[in-house]
Structure 1
Amino acid sequence: MIPRLRLGFCNYSLLLLIVVLGTQSCNGRFGAYPLTEKPLTTLVSDSGTLPEVKRARDMDVNDVIQYLNLHEESSWIHTTEAELISLVNEFDDSPEIHELVADYYLTIGNVEEALVYNTKAEERGARSTEFYKKRAEVFAALGQYGLAIDYLNKAVKINGNDPDIYLSKGEVYLNMGDSISSLQYKSHAFIQDSSRLDIAADLAYLYARHDELDKSRNLIDLLIASDYRPKEMKKLDASLYRRKGQMDQANAIYKSLLDSGDTAAGVVLIDHFKQQNLHDSIVHYSTLLLEQDSSNLFALEAKAISFDYKGYYTSALIYYNQMLDIDSLNQEAHEGIRKVKGKIAYLRKLKEQKEAIPNFDFLAPKRNELIDE
């Protein structure tokens, strides 16, 4: 959230940040007073980074917690590991700082170190709902799903109305291969907060997985109407039509996606008609795909193969050569040209052999000559 500012612009930028975040409170997890009650300018070093270690003893722990919280909000993009280690060593008694450092390691993918500092936070008294949710996330990332569930259950005891807890439990059970329990917990999360479209999307996939297609489609319609990941939801909708054998409806959805610029939908259509061996349709949708992406090798090859199949060898060579214009080392194009030229040479040889055969014109005797005999 806070960029690395040079001295002279620091105060103004931080004041602006305070105005923007003025409604956010850190009482629940990151300190004893709201963000706006104390100025943060005293927390910034001359380089605009985290406080220097030599100044850390002069700062209040709540100031440091709030400052680290800002870094957490910005996904730690302005933070170095060395700075964090210096601070956590200086404020070793603070569970909140250990918790924040654990979040840093989890964000960068170092789950083992995240567990180390998360455990230190618990040893120093961390007991909040958010802490238990984060600790469950760490254990889930390590594949220790039983412990993840245990800590999510502790979070439920503190706040049973938090939909994210049930959503996380659903994710853990899904990772364990128990999609039925996952569906139950994610459904409960959606009951807790039916405005959460991310949960609705998860449920749409889970209902589809369990062949509850009508329930899945109801959520898909809601999500598309809400403009939530519309392309993804339309593709899920098309897959449901295909599962029911309604290919025309599915293809119509993919066609609309292709018309809107989704080239992946064009690939799906071409693959579908390849399976049906319908080369006219392959040529048609390859042409539409090339209108969106003129250098699409998949579409160029599909047209070349179809023209080869239909005996239009000159056209096949044109598209294979277009592939080589894009990728001169393309093996499919070189192999395709070799095969087509082989067919052309074979047909030319047959024609030459046919033309070389003598044409004997045997005249039948006239009728009156037969009578005279």
Structure 2
Amino acid sequence: MTTDIQRLNQRLASAQPSATYRIIDRVAERRAQGAKIISLCAGEPDFDTPGHVREAAIEAIVNGHTRYTQVAGVRSLREAVAAKFRRENGLDVTWQDTLVCNGGKQVIYNALAATLNEEDQVIIPAPYWVSYPEMVQLCGGEARIVTCEANTGFKLTAAALAEAITPRTRWLILNSPSNPTGAVYSREELQALAEVLLANPHVLILADDIYEHLIFDDQTFFTLAQVEPGLAARTLTMNGVSKAYAMTGWRIGFATGPRWLLEAMEKLQGQQTSGASSISQQAALAALEGPKDFIHESRAVFQSRRDLMVELLNSTPGLECVSPAGAFYAFASCSGLIGRTSPGGRVLHTDEDVAHALLDEADVAVVHGSAFGLGPYIRIAYALDDASLHKACEAIKTFCSHLR
């Protein structure tokens, strides 16, 4: 029986832990038991942070950049962030229009916590990153999920957006390239969404562009405020260094948007965590101002891995996978496996059953698509070397070939 002293905040009590981290915890348990697990579930590049960035961090320590910074970030980094948004995204902003946070996740949470009140709704296209609905719920809002099936490329259409908007709609969250599907919105698709948003001036937009530089086949990346400047006054454009520069552990995210919103987010952050790590900020500055060779090289590697994964998955009985346009995830339909029985005797009623059976019986860790709002799918992160990817796919294929 739970005692009164153990009573939790009601919003937290009803929130769900991250499905991704639950799988990661299971991987750790299996490895502790001696199993050799190939993990395809973590959403981070497998490359080392570029050398000049690491050197900048060491230099920052040696030079004494080890004290508190301004809550919104040091001015030099904010100037570099503004320059990045001008150079790469065509946004007319200055350093005063930016905010630096402890990772991209904090950018999103700060924005929602600063603006949501009871009964406010947030439109979230599904499949979605697992944290979006939980953040909305923790901040007192209501997630309004709009399912985007494979026939739309897993992307939100203008018609679906128009139907989802209500007088209670506060935000639309748009992630491109997408986690978990790798879907990328074209200029034309964004313009169609923009027309709907222009007709609904009460809706704020959060553009999560964290995978911006992981876009394949020589496509051009566009963000919503770039395509429709008329929306800039109510769009928060979020990015960071974690994916593009293999800096997930450095915890630096940043954003640009209307100053009233940034000021509210800064106030919240000042009472929550204060500024980001001073050393990480210096490293992020080196990343944004330094050479960009790493981005081009890693993108080419990820595109090659994508091609490999799509080919191997589509040759596996019961799996189907469209080729993702960006990020480093394959979102494969496993509908052909549902209802069958694994070699170990597990009946695969759901995609979650598939994910757990693959971990327990094939020693391969993936995340079930229903955790991202759409099943039956599995999300496979191909942020591993080719040899490991080949080995994992062979194990998946053997598992699927022996289903009853």
Task: Name the TM-score, length of structure 1 as normaliser.
Answer: 0.25
Task: Name the TM-score, length of structure 2 as normaliser.
Answer: 0.24
Larger radius of gyration: 1
Q: Name whichever structure is richer in strand by fraction.
A: 2
